Structure 1
Amino acid sequence: MRTAVVGAGSMGTIIGALLTRGGEDVLLVDVNEPHVKALNEKGARITGHMELTVPVKAITPDAMQGPYDLVIYLVKTTHDEQALPEILPHLGEESAVITLQNGVPEERVAAVVGRERTLGGAIGWGATLLEPGVSELTSEVEAMTYDIGELDGSVTERLQRVKALLDKAGKAEITTNLAGIRWTKLMANVSFSGLGAALNCTYGEILDNEKALIAATTIIVETIKTAQALGITMEPMQGVAPGVLIDIIRESEENALNVIRMVWGRHRDLVASMLQDLRKGLRCEVDTLNGYLSEKSAQAGVPTPVNDKVTEIIRGIQEGRYPLSFDNLEMIEVRPLREII
């Protein structure tokens, strides 16, 4: 299967390297010319929870020559307007595009490349691009999971082929409830990733601060309640069903926080992609993550005050009104978890 990893940044570099090591015909595509140059000259180097260097083939988008059988689409949602039209000429009638972006991007991708070509999926791990050609795996290797699906929930031959491919870069599972998977991933994005961006910290620093942990858990509850109001059945995250967390909170707030520590503890070193962008002075994906939840919760009539505040803080950092600082936690008001369920 001729495959292009489009948006070969921190995660795309690792995926492309592992697929190449697995014998796949893979091309890494990225607009970052120094990164592309380093990949071609020195190979893709993975550090952190994995130490590996793999010779790879990399190009910038203008050098793409299709058609490609599969495009693994990992471009930041802030660049979709430019990137999606660029891949369209390189797709054949039987080509597929699987978006593994953050948020809920399938409809946006399908509008450009066609619903018949579009697959979706959620990645269960994180990475940080340290320098051109070098990406740090910030989650444990065992957490390198993918949940992938067709837009209509069917299980097709092409989906099985994509699963077999991604199994060479972790462990892929097929879902018949892509919307539920997406909202579970959104829950992770807006809680720990969103709060990490607002506070300039890793997941581990949130886990180690009681107020920050309660804030993250509150956003998790806000996401669950919004999904329920919208009629979306969220899927379990690493074996924990979101609805069960509400029941645990009713019984014991401390037990609920321990569950959160268990689920997110495997990602202590993770630096959210939004925070990576903010540290570089770039626009981040707040509008398609925390901002998206604020929009959907308002439509559903579900109050989400903590997520709304985190959204406002991230936008404030982006606009230069707030500093990148853990002290931003002082701006966030939290209540006992039992009062919000």
Structure 2
Amino acid sequence: MRIAIMGAGSLGTILGAYISKAGYAIDLIDPYKEHVDALNKEGARIIGTVNFTQPVHAITPDEMEGVYDLIIYMAKQTYNDTAIPQIKAHIDENSTVCVCQNGIPEYAVSEAVGVEKVVGAPVGWGATFQGPGCSALTTDEGRLNFTLGSLEGEVNERVLKTKKILECMGEVVVSENLISLRWTKLLMNATFSGLSTALGTTFGGVLDDDVAMKLILKIGKECLDVAAEKGITLEPYEGYDFYQAFKRGDEKTNQESIKLIREIWKPHYKLTASMAQDLINGRKCEIYDINGIVCKAGKECGIPTPVNERVVKIVAGIQDGIYEYSKNNMEFFKDLV
């Protein structure tokens, strides 16, 4: 089976290393030539909660040849206009495209390649790109997981084929309700990725801040309210019920929710959001594909999303040079606490 990862950045480098380590031949595809050269010369160096170096085969997109049986799509959605046509040129009617991006990305990919070829796999672990050839895993190895499903809901041969490959790295939970899984992951990203980026800090920086945690609770509840209006019930995450974790009420109820949220996100304490990594390195981030999706859906169904909207405003402002990437940005949220 010919396998490739399109977008060998922080996550793709690590997943590619694990799949290679399991004995599969896989192409790690990325436009960053210096990174590709380092991977081929020195192997994929994986640090953080693990420490190993794995020989891998990496190429740039212009070096792609032939047809792949499975392409794992991990490039940011900001690169869709370039990456999706490159994928489409190297698949056929029997190929599978596994979408591991943030947000609700399967629709854009399926419009280009066909819904029957697409499976989605929200990623349940984090990573930070360290430089050419090196990425840091920020989630404990025992907590590495994916969820997996098809847009059509069926657990078909493509889902099972992809599951076997992803299991090279961690647990894969198969579901017949991919969109519910996606909204679960969207809530996870909108809360900690969105707010930590807006506040110029890590997940741990948010977890340690009582005021920030009140905002986290509100962001998550907005996500649940929008999903409910759209008729979507979120799937549990690692056995945790987000309807319990993001329940709002009196002060006692809110504090109990915040305590549970801290428990759920503690394994990701060291994580710097990929959006923040993009901004730090002068790249556009996926804010409109994460918190922006919640805001858009809220407007469509008449559900207010004021905290998500503020996150979008601040992160987009950092991206556009209006605001700084700074912990001082908390002042822009004081009226929403």
The two structures have a TM-score, normalised by structure 2, of: 0.97
- 1:104 paired with 2:104, answer yes
- The match for 1:339 is none
- Following TM superposition, by how much is the alpha carbon of 1:143 offset from its aligned partner in structure 2, in angstroms? 2.1
In 2, Cα distance between equivalents of 1:60 and 1:318? 27
Q: Secondary structure at the match of 2:5?
A: strand
Q: Give structure 1 stretches of 5+ with no counterpart.
A: 337-341
Where 1:93 maps in the other structure, the secondary structure is coil
Tell whether the 8 Å contact from 1:206 to 1:213 is kept in structure 2 after alignment: yes
CA contact under 8 A between 2:217 and 2:246: conserved in structure 1?
Answer: no
1:91-127, CA deviations, whole angstroms, 9 ceiling, x for partnerless residues? 0220000100000000100111111211111001110
Distance 2:329 2:148 in 1: 36
**Paired residue for 1:137?**
137
Deviation at 1:66, TM superposition (A): 2.2
1:234 aligns with 2:234: yes
Q: 1:331–1:154: structure 2 CA closer, same or farther, 3 Å change rule?
A: same
Task: Give the whole-Å Cα distance in 2 for the aligned partners of 1:334 and 1:243.
Answer: 25
Residue 289 of structure 2 is matched in structure 1 by 288
Q: Which residue of 1 aligns with 2:177?
A: 177
Classify the secondary structure of the residue corresponding to 2:92. strand
Match of 1:28 in 2: 28
Contact 2:244 2:257 in 1 (8 A): no
CA distance in 1, matches of 2:182, 2:142: 20
Question: 1:300 Cα shift?
Answer: 1.3
> How far, CA to CA, are the matches of 1:66 and 1:262 in structure 2?
46
Tell me the residue number matched to 1:268: 269
Partner of 1:205: 205
2:12 match: 12
Correspondence 1:302-317 to 2 at 5 A: 302-317=303-318
Q: Which residue of structure 2 aligns with residue 91 of structure 1?
A: 91
Note the C-alpha offset of 1:255. 1.3
Asked whether the equivalents of residues 294 and 307 of structure 1 are also in contact (C-alpha less than 8 Å), the reply is: yes
Q: Distance in 2 between matches of 1:256 and 1:334?
A: 21
Normalising by structure 1, we get a TM-score of 0.96
Task: Give the letter aligned to residue 186 of structure 1.
Answer: L
CA distance in 2, matches of 1:291, 1:248: 22
Deviations 1:214-257 (A, max 9, x none): 11121011101110011011111221122223557566222111
State the partner residue of 2:324.
323
Gaps of 5+ in 2: none
- Residue type of the partner of 1:303? P
Q: Residues of 2 paired with 1:152 and 1:320: CA distance?
A: 41
RMSD between aligned alpha carbons? 1.3
Whether 2:215 is the aligned partner of 1:215: answer yes
Q: CA deviation at 1:158?
A: 2.2
Task: Tell me the distance in 2 between the aligned counterparts of 1:330 and 1:60.
Answer: 43
State the number of aligned residues: 336
Shift of 1:196: 1.2
Identity fraction in percent: 41
Find the residue that maps to 1:262 and give its secondary structure: helix
How far does the alpha carbon of each residue in 1:127-148 deviate from its partner, in whole angstroms, 9 at most, with x for none? 0110100000011112211001
Distance 1:32 1:157 in 2: 33
